[in-house]
Amino acid sequence: MKLHPVDLKKIHINDPFWSKHVSLVKEAVIPYQWDAINDRIKDAEPSHSLMNFKIAAGLCEGEFYGAVFQDTDVAKWLEAVGFALAAQPDGELERTADQVIDIIAKAQCPDGYLNTYFTIREPEKRWSDLCEGHELYTAGHMMEAAVAYYMGTGKRKFLDVVLRFADLICDTFGFEDGKIHGYPGHQEVELGLIKLYQVTGESRYLEQAKYFIDARGVGENYFLKELNRPGFRYIFPEFKDYEPIYSQSHLPVREQKTAEGHAVRAMYMYSAMADLAEACGDDSLMEACRTLWDNMTQKRMYITGSIGSSGILERFTTDYDLPNDCNYSESCASIGMAMFGQRMGNITREAKYYDVVERALYNTVLAGIALDGKSFFYVNPLEVWPDNCLPRTSKEHVKPIRQKWFGVSCCPPNIARTLASMGQYIYGVDGESIYVNLFISNETTVDMGGREVSMTMETRFPWKMEVDITLRGVPESGMKLAVRIPDYAGNFAVRYVGDGGQADGYGPALVREKGYGIISLTGDVCLHVTWDAPARFVHSNPLVRADSGKVALVRGPIVYCLEEADNGSNLAAVYVDPGTPVTEEEKDLFGGIIGLSFAGKKISGREWGGDELYGLHPVTWEDVKLKAVPYACWNNRGVGEMVVWMKELFKM
């Protein structure tokens, strides 16, 4: 039996690190996104997404504007609202959302179809471009949003709208004669359908998700057939030489051994595969998930928990190809990886999955949003040289500063819904055990065989590697508490504290299993969990040529970087001896961090004449004091250089 998250309505996060980010969602991001979908952000590309729904609903006159998947701006806002309302009721926000849902309901076609692009602009083209039309992708986001809103408010209206749409999809696609034998170019509907199954118990939605996964990449590629139809018109001209690997449709999913193609599509598909493998007891599908996870995390993932080595097409490339300055490393892809990891961790109870979830959340996902919650990175390279972030060059996707709101605005709302639903990543529960996956201060209650166990976690993680856990109402029949032992932890220890009836300072019996420390409990306890994770310089596998001869500085899950604001320019000329002592110091910067400082050397330009490009001058050095800050915090002090991997000074 797999673990499942706790009910978001029953968990209250009160964490010194995360609460400021989580509260940003309600205080800044949701209002900002509301302005964005209403086209009220000055100097930003208009979204027009809510207007599209009003036009499709017959409430306004006008033309569709935006990308084919523009509807998802509204869906992701509603999803974030759903999660936020689960955490904390808010009558005014709920009324606003209800009004949006009324519009959406009116925009639905009589047969259940829901998509403003095709409804307004090309009604006759419905389902004719599964490759890039994004109808099923958009449908999936509508479903996820409706489920979140239903879970957060208990209101069914939006859910009923998407169920009618889901029924239409079930009637339209399948292996049966008379149905379309296609599958989505951008996976997502699978996740939506699975969530509909989870809230309604209706197995047809699970079956439909399974169809989309099972049909994918089998036999003649559906997209190539589609693109070759006479009169086919490309929405995106760059897809003229379509390669099925881009959408993970090059092989049946069970035969895929390497993480390929567009990274977000891959993550959404793998997440659905994991859900289906568990729900259907499908061992071959589970095996494929394990293989793909291992390939991705062992050969194609950045140390910041990001993926997508190619700026063009936002895609995976090859094993160990991890360039640091021209990669995509999309925020959404890291969110997708966290979703996949959460599922794998909950199914397998192996801690290695949450090691990666934590890495993605604390580094790349957080880097995606500014400290004020009002500007965003899509692309998260590990080195940025602002001068070269030029449009119409190989680095045109790299932005030297977070952007207000993108034309294709997947990342900001995706980050918002992730922050708003952080609670789902903290625990995995199954009625007999509580798995602690992430170290985030919170209070919650968990049903443990019919009995409500209340649990609190208090920590200053990731700055202090200490966590206090209190359990009250532990059943006498016993339960298990499993605490993840992070892959970077040394001297992991659990001790009793005070009044739990146990002797203060002694440790309970701890069984280590798949990366968790498991404790059997028969009564209430207060536990003090500690481990060591000092700042240290790490290497990459020597086959990663971009990092060859370099080191990165990490402390616990936090990857650090050098910024120009602290260290001057030309950071590529900085060298560090990984044996050098690193000083840790609490700082008020960025709302409170531990800053790291250490000595380094830098190639000096002193001996070099200004006008010579190549020459025989010897290298001269200067000693430098270096200061590193968490990668997630970079670029909150204006435009400047940034580098994660520093050159290593070897002592030969």
Q: How far is the CB of 42 from its own copies (least distance, A)?
A: 21
For residue 478, the minimal CB distance to its own copies (Å) is 36
Q: Does 531 bind its own copies (CB under 8 A)?
A: no
Q: At a CB cut-off of 8 Å and minimum separation 6, what does 311 contact?
A: 326, 327, 328, 379, 394, 395, 396, 397, 398
Chain centroid offset of residue 637 CA:
24
Nearest CB to its own copies, comparing residues 108 and 324? 324
For its own copies, the closer of residues 388 and 520 by Cβ is 388
Close Cβ partners of 91 (under 8 Å, ≥ 6 residues apart): none
Residue 617 in the binding site for its own copies (CB under 8 A): yes
Q: Which of 575, 598, 631, 634 binds its own copies (CB under 8 A)?
A: 575
Answer for which of 290, 608, 637, 639 binds its own copies (CB under 8 A) is 608
- Give the nearer residue to its own copies in terms of CB position, either 401 or 538: 538
Q: For the CB of residue 552, give the shortest distance to its own copies in the complex, in Å.
A: 7
Query: What tokens appear for 61 in the block?
Result: 């006159």
Q: Determine if 614 is a binding residue for its own copies (CB under 8 A).
A: yes
Q: How far apart are CA 338 and CA 306, in angstroms?
A: 10
Binding residue count for its own copies, defined by CB under 8 A: 71
Residue 191's nearest CA partner among 80, 285, 269, 115 is: 269
CB of 592 to its own copies, least distance (A): 26
Other C-beta atoms lying within 10 Å of the C-beta of residue 615: 8
Nearer to its own copies, 210 or 315 (CB): 315
Nearest to 3, CA basis, from 495, 462, 354, 347: 347
- At residue 580, φ and ψ (nearest 5 deg) are -70, 140
Distance CA(467)–CA(456), nearest Å, equals 10
Chain positions 309 to 328 lying near its own copies, rule: CB under 8 A, are: 309-313, 315, 317-319, 321, 323, 325-326
224 forms part of the interface with its own copies (CB under 8 A): no
In angstroms, rounded to a whole number, what is the distance separating the alpha carbons of residues 152 and 93?
Answer: 12
Which residue in 241, 283, 476, 588 binds its own copies (CB under 8 A)? 241
Mark whether 410 is an active-site residue: yes
User: Is 314 a known active-site residue?
Assistant: yes
For residues 335-394, which are near its own copies according to CB under 8 A?
385, 387-388, 390-394
Closer CB to its own copies, 509 or 652, in the complex: 652
- Answer yes or no: are the C-beta atoms of 87 and 423 closer than 8 Å: yes
**What is the footprint of its own copies within residues 258-277 (CB under 8 A)?**
none
Specify the stretch interacting with its own copies by CB under 8 A; choose among 2-10, 53-61, 191-199, 541-549.
Answer: 541-549
CB nearer to its own copies: give 105 or 538: 538
Q: Check: CB of residue 497 under 8 Å from CB of residue 490.
A: no
Instruction: Please tell me whether residue 648 binds its own copies under the rule CB under 8 A.
Output: yes
581 near its own copies (CB under 8 A):
no
Which residue lies nearer to its own copies by CB, 482 or 485?
Answer: 485
Kindly name the residue from 132, 226, 260, 314 that is annotated as catalytic.
314
CA distance 570 to 44: 32
Distance of closest approach, residue 410 Cβ to its own copies, in angstroms: 20
- State which of residues 44, 251, 603, 639 lies at the interface with its own copies (CB under 8 A): 603
How far, in Å, CA of 97 to CA of 384, rounded?
39
User: Can you tell me which residue has the tokens 């961090």?
Assistant: 593
Q: Cβ 588 to its own copies, closest distance in Å? A: 30
- As beta bridge partners, residue 532 has 490
Residues 384-443 that bind its own copies (CB under 8 A): 385, 387-388, 390-396
Q: For 140, left (φ over 0), alpha (ψ -120 to 50), or beta?
A: alpha
CB closer to its own copies out of 254 and 647: 647
User: In this structure, which amino acid lies at residue 226?
Assistant: E
Specify the DSSP element, H or E, that contains 440. none
Q: Which residues contact 103 (CB under 8 A, 6 or more apart)?
A: 50, 53, 54, 57, 59
Residues across the chain: 652
The single residue among 58, 201, 231, 237 that binds its own copies, judged by CB under 8 A, is 237
Name the β-bridge partners of 159: none
Which runs of consecutive H residues, i.e. helices, occur in 378-496?
Answer: 411-420, 423-426
Shortest CB 392 distance to its own copies, Å: 5
> Cα separation of 191 and 273, whole Å?
9
Backbone phi and psi for residue 124, each to the nearest 5 degrees, phi listed first? -80, -10
Minimum CB–partner distance for residue 445 and its own copies (Å): 37
Residue 289 binds to its own copies (criterion: CB under 8 A) = no
Q: Catalytic residue among 389, 410, 411, 561, which? A: 410
Where in 543-572 is the site for its own copies (CB under 8 A)? 543-546, 548-549, 552, 570, 572
Residue 130 in the binding site for its own copies (CB under 8 A): no
Q: Does 573 sit near its own copies (CB under 8 A)? A: yes
**Cβ 135 to its own copies shortest distance, Å:** 23
Instruction: Tell me whether residue 209 or residue 571 sits nearer to its own copies (CB atom).
Output: 571
The vertex-446 CA angle with 445 and 450, nearest 5°, equals 120
Q: For residues 144 and 564, which CB has a smaller minimum distance to its own copies in the complex?
A: 564
* Residues paired with residue 369 on neighbouring β-strands, in sequence order: 376
Establish if 509 lies at the interface with its own copies (CB under 8 A): no
The closest alpha carbon to 88, from 26, 164, 35, belongs to 26
Tell the smallest beta-carbon distance from residue 324 to its own copies (Å). Answer: 11
Which amino acids are annotated catalytic?
A: 314, 410
